[in-house]
């Protein structure tokens, strides 16, 4: 991602992957021993690592290891996803793995904020709608899921469900203000102008 890019996000689509289970915390999403990284670049390799791989590196039976979900970009989850610590590595690992959005029953608040800061949309839906979506994706993993943030609607196959998203997060994504670094760098001329007028940055003598 270009840090200077102001990207407006109002629509996301792609094949889905259902990840069942309540209270999947950030330590499970990305184990603590991988927090020592200098950059976030390779964190996608360690997404849910301890529940996907044995100590010798061989694969366990896990949804993320199933071939039919390769290339999935929309993750469908249950209740209180992303609870636990506030580590920003959790949403970073999802993003680096290739996840572009999540649909769930509910998300932990700090996790939600960290995802929004990366331009990773989260929307919530009723339990029965999530269950139906999960079952649908299991039966048809290549079907495209479409998330419309302006309409607050998710469509897949012949189904359409209403979703929710906090107004502030939705506004930030749709307007592109989620990328605070990009906003800052896009205003460099104004920043330098203000800097030129500050006496303590221009050889001010006390």
pLDDT at 152: 98
pLDDT at 186: 64
Residues 149 and 10 sit within 8 Å (Cβ to Cβ): yes
Q: Measured between alpha carbons, how far is 192 from 132 in angstroms, rounded to an integer?
A: 53
Q: Measured between alpha carbons, how far is 37 from 89 in angstroms, rounded to an integer?
A: 10
**Could you give the percent of the chain with pLDDT greater than 90?**
75
Architecture of the CATH domain 11-177: Alpha-Beta Barrel (3.20)
pLDDT at 119: 93
pTM across the whole model: 0.86
Q: Measured between alpha carbons, how far is 141 from 150 in angstroms, rounded to an integer?
A: 25
β-pairing, 159-162 vs 122-124, is unpaired
Q: Measured between alpha carbons, how far is 46 from 34 in angstroms, rounded to an integer?
A: 8
Q: Give every strand in the sheet of 122-124, ordered side by side.
A: 122-124, 101-104, 74-77, 11-19, 144-148, 153-156, 159-162
**pLDDT band at residue 189 using 50, 70 and 90 as cut-offs:** confident
Q: Give the number of other Cβ atoms within 10 Å of residue 161's Cβ.
A: 18
Distance of CA 16 to the CA centre of its chain: 14
143 three-state secondary structure: coil
**Residue spans per domain, the chain:** 11-177
Average pLDDT over residues 92-118: 96
Q: Measured between alpha carbons, how far is 112 from 52 in angstroms, rounded to an integer?
A: 24
pLDDT at 206: 44
């Amino acid at each position: 991602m270009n840090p200077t890019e102001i990207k407006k996000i109002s629509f996301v689509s792609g094949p889905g992957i259902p990840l069942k289970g309540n209270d999947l915390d950030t330590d499970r999403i990305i184990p603590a021993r991988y927090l020592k990284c200098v950059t976030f670049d390779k964190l996608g390799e360690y997404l849910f690592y301890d529940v996907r791989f044995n100590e010798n590196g061989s694969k366990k039976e896990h949804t993320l290891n199933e071939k039919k979900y390769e290339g999935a970009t929309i993750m469908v989850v249950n209740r209180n996803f992303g609870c636990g610590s506030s580590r920003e590595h959790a949403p970073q690992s999802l993003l680096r793995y290739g996840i572009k959005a999540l649909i769930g029953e509910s998300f932990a608040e700090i996790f939600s904020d960290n995802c929004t800061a990366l331009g990773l949309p989260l929307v919530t839906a009723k339990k029965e709608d999530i269950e139906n979506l999960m079952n649908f994706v299991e039966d048809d993993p290549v079907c495209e899921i479409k998330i419309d943030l302006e309409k607050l609607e998710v469509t897949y196959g012949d189904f359409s469900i209403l979703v929710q998203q906090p107004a502030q997060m939705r506004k930030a994504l749709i307007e592109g203000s989620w990328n605070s670094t990009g906003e800052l760098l896009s205003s460099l001329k104004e920043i330098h102008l203000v800097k030129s007028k500050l006496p303590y940055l221009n050889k001010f003598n006390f």
